[in-house]
Structure 1
Amino acid sequence: MRALPWLYLVAAFVFIYLPVGTLVLFSLQDGNLPVPPFNGPSLRWYADILADDDLTGALGNSLIVAFGSSAAAVTLGFLAAYGLARHVLPGSALIRGLLIAPLTVSYLIVGLGLLIVLTRAGLGLSLWTAAIGHVVINLPLAFAIIYASMGAQQQNAERAARDLGADETRVVLLVIVPMLMPAIAAAFFLSVTLSWDEFIIAFLLTRFDVTLPVEIWSMLRSGLSPRLNAIGSLVFLISVTAVLVLEIFVFRRRRS
């Protein structure tokens, strides 16, 4: 009976990571088709995609959109969380509900709505409009994480700082932000991860300068190839690295 939980754990991990393992394995395929039998290992497809200007450009676009939109979403989410947690506002519960509500809305609906609004506003589709869309979907997440971390401990420190003569700006920058840094960092890294992998909004709100998921989709129309496996493996590696950094430097420090 003691082995049953371990068997269940192993089965769960196999179920989750078998598709990823298969993707990584056939990204090392030396042949032109990502199908058995395995012929390799070889890094030719990684060298091929890293030498592709379209792919490297899309990769750079994804990084710009992910980090830029995440920084904006976390900043706005922090300001909203601070305002609603520290000030009594009429209908604050309704405001919190409206801020979190986009988490329950399909990205397709959000993307179509933004496409109509931005087109009516005369804004051309670009990386800027994709970044705006990612701010919209990541702001509720950042707000929820930061708001949940604003407890009585921070409030007591804020009062002590004000009693010692600190103005509101110094209280925010020197007291609140450092105390909430684990939550802020968690919100930022999760936003980066979601923006990095997001396809629907990026597809609807970009035209010529596309992100990596959109570039991968355009390649899929030509059929499967080891190049796609290599791209997917790199995306998986970057995402896992971000999660591990988050776990090591944020969550573990917060628990300690």
Structure 2
Amino acid sequence: MIRTLSWAYLAVAYAFVFLPVAVLVAFSFQDGRLPVPPFKGVTLDWYAKVLGNDDLTAALLNSLLVAVVSSLVALILGFLAAHALARVRLPGSALMRGVLIAPMTVSYLIVALGLLNLFNLTGLRLSLLTAGIGHVVVNLPLCFAITYAAMGDHQRSAERAARDLGAPEWKVVTLISAPMLAVPLAAAFFLSVTFSWDEFIIAFLLTRFDVTLPVEIWSMLKSGLSPATNAVGSLVFLVSVTLVILLELTVFRKRP
């Protein structure tokens, strides 16, 4: 009885999470102008229309650029901060860790509004650069938290041994510390890319002419739902799932 209830609960949970996505994907193949029942047939015309749209293609490339570059910057800064606070005893280090993690508890809307005011004061023009800065701000705490949690005594011992053998500090960090943290660093990077890839609020407020894919999708939705918007959503979901699968196969895969 308990086993049956457990399977039933699992089925309901999966249906609750994936049923909207399944409906989205199904009606992206709708052979009609409206993505509503009844289902009139299967066609790939909407995907061809989406992939042939220059604005969507440009927005897709912008999203990939912002996601990869901002995640890489956030990873480097988060790793260096974690290494410093884990290896060096500083006055107020607990407070420093709290300040670094604090953006994780703040709404993206608040972060975006604060950065928007800052950029207006400094005269920095809204662009993909400003959106990337916003994504670094929200992803850096994630990279820091994952890296800091993964640092242990065995890495400290290896670093001490390298210093005793005459290695300079930059070699200790790049050739000892970073390779020993390859798995958590890769996990932090892939998660940052995933979060940045489909982030909307920061990208919407901190871009103007060159926009990311979520902002372009929002512009399409202003004219109403269509199978084309469902096709775009399906492609975004496909990319996100692909990143998660790659993360699972390359990082979280158990090794004998």
- Counterpart for residue 169 of structure 2: 168
Summarize deviations over 1:25-74 as a string: whole Å, max 9, x none. 00011111000111221111000000000000000000000001000000
1:177 maps to a residue whose letter is A
The code of the aligned residue for 1:49 comes to V
Give the structure 1 partner of residue 150 of structure 2: 149
Q: Does 48-57 or 153-162 show the bigger shift? A: 153-162
User: Structure 2 unaligned runs (5+)?
Assistant: none
Question: d(CA) in 2 for partners of 1:175 and 1:241?
Answer: 30
Q: Secondary structure at the match of 2:252?
A: helix
1:170-196 Cα offsets, whole Å, 9 max, x none, are: 111111111101111111000001001
| 2:241 alignment counterpart | 240
1:23 is matched with 24
1:89, 1:78 → 2: CA distance? Answer: 17
In structure 1, the partner of 2:223 is: 222
Code of the residue aligned with 1:58 in structure 2: it is: A
Give the C-alpha shift of residue 87 in structure 1: 0.3
Give the stretch that moved more between structures: 207-216 or 151-160.
151-160
Give 3-state SS (helix, strand or coil) of 1:118's partner: helix
- In the other structure, the counterpart of 2:108 is 107
User: What is the aligned partner in structure 2 of residue 194 from structure 1?
Assistant: 195
| Distance (Å, rounded) in 1 between the aligned partners of 2:42 and 2:172 | 56
Amino acid at match of 2:80: L
Which residue identity is paired with 1:42?
A: T
Task: Describe the SS at the equivalent of 2:253.
Answer: helix
**Other-structure match for 2:7:** 6
- Code of the residue aligned with 2:50 in structure 1: it is I
**Distance in 1 (alpha carbons) for counterparts of 2:41 and 2:164:** 68
Question: What residue is the counterpart of 2:182 in the other structure?
Answer: 181
Structure 1 position 218, deviation (Å): 0.8
Quote how far apart the aligned CAs of 1:164 are: 2.3
Q: Any runs of at least 4 consecutive aligned residues in structure 1 with deviations exceeding 2 A, and if so which?
A: none
Distance 1:15 1:109 in 2: 30
Percent identity of equivalent pairs: 69
Post-superposition offset of 1:5: 1.0
Structure 1 range deviating more: 36-45 or 143-152: 36-45
Question: What CA deviation, in whole Å up to 9, does each residue of 1:201-221 have, x standing for no partner?
Answer: 100000000000000111111
Q: How much has 1:163 moved relative to structure 2?
A: 2.1
**1: CA distance, partners of 2:252 / 2:175:** 21
TM-score, normalized by length of structure 2?
0.98
- Displacement of 1:108 in angstroms is 0.5
Q: Is 1:89 paired with 2:90?
A: yes
1:26 maps to amino acid: F
Structure 1 position 165, deviation (Å):
2.3
Taking structure 1 as the reference length, the TM-score comes to 0.98
Q: Who is 2:58 aligned against?
A: 57
The unaligned stretches of length 5 or more in structure 1 are none
Matched position secondary structure for 1:251? coil
Output the CA distance in 1 between the equivalents of 2:92 and 2:52.
Answer: 55
Q: Which amino acid aligns with 2:226?
A: S
Q: Provide, for residues 120-152 of structure 1, a one-character-per-residue CA deviation record: whole Å limited to 9, x for no partner.
A: 101110000000000000000110000000111
* One-letter code aligned to 1:205: L
> What is the aligned-residue RMSD (CA, Å)?
0.9
